């Protein structure tokens, strides 16, 4: 029996280094726009990126404008390495995903 084991999420690294490695992959994806990696790492990165951007959209929609910007900035700084990449997420990617979310909801 499987007992809720997801073999795709096992990257053969320790727990602490796995989270750092995934954060680095996500930062490089945001910085460069695309990356070359293995299929297994790409699947893990896709799930992490979906979680990251859906959480940002949820934060920006549930709170007031001032609080939402502060909380989104806090969340981005906790995940993404680098100041320039965080600004790129706030200015380029977040408005795109919010507009996409609004189209789905309507």
Assigned domain for 58 exists? yes
Assigned domain for 3 exists? no
Q: What is the mean pLDDT of the chain?
A: 85
Sign of CA dihedral 9, 50, 81, 66: negative
Whether 5 shows a pLDDT value over 70: the answer reads no
Two tokens at 85?
A: 């990449």
Assigned domain for 52 exists? yes
SS3 99: helix
Give me the DSSP letters along 25-68: HHHHHHHHS-----HHHHHHHHHHHHHHHHHHHHHHHHS-HHHH
Per the structure, the complete domain to which residue 25 belongs is given by: 8-105
pLDDT in tens, 18-49: 888 899 999 999 999 999 998 888 988 999 99
Assigned domain for 2 exists? no
Assigned domain for 95 exists? yes
pLDDT in tens, 58-92: 998 888 888 888 999 999 999 999 999 999 999 99
Assigned domain for 70 exists? yes
Assigned domain for 59 exists? yes
Whether 12 shows a pLDDT value over 80: the answer reads no
Tell me which long-range contacts 87-91 makes (C-beta under 8 A, separation of at least 24): 88/30, 88/31, 89/30, 89/56
pTM of the complete model: 0.79
Q: What is the largest CA-CA distance in the chain?
A: 49
Assigned domain for 1 exists? no
Number of domains in the chain: 1
């Amino acid at each position: 029996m499987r007992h809720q084991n997801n073999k795709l999420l096992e990257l053969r690294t320790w727990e602490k280094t796995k989270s750092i490695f995934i954060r680095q992959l996500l930062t490089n994806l945001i910085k460069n726009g695309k990356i070359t990696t293995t299929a297994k790492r790409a699947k893990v990165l896709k799930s992490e990126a979906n979680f990251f951007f859906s959480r940002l959209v949820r934060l920006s929609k549930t709170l007031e404008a001032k609080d939402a910007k502060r909380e989104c900035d806090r969340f981005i700084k906790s995940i993404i390495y680098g100041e320039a990449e965080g600004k790129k997420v706030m200015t380029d990617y977040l408005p795109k995903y919010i507009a996409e979310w609004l189209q789905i909801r309507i």
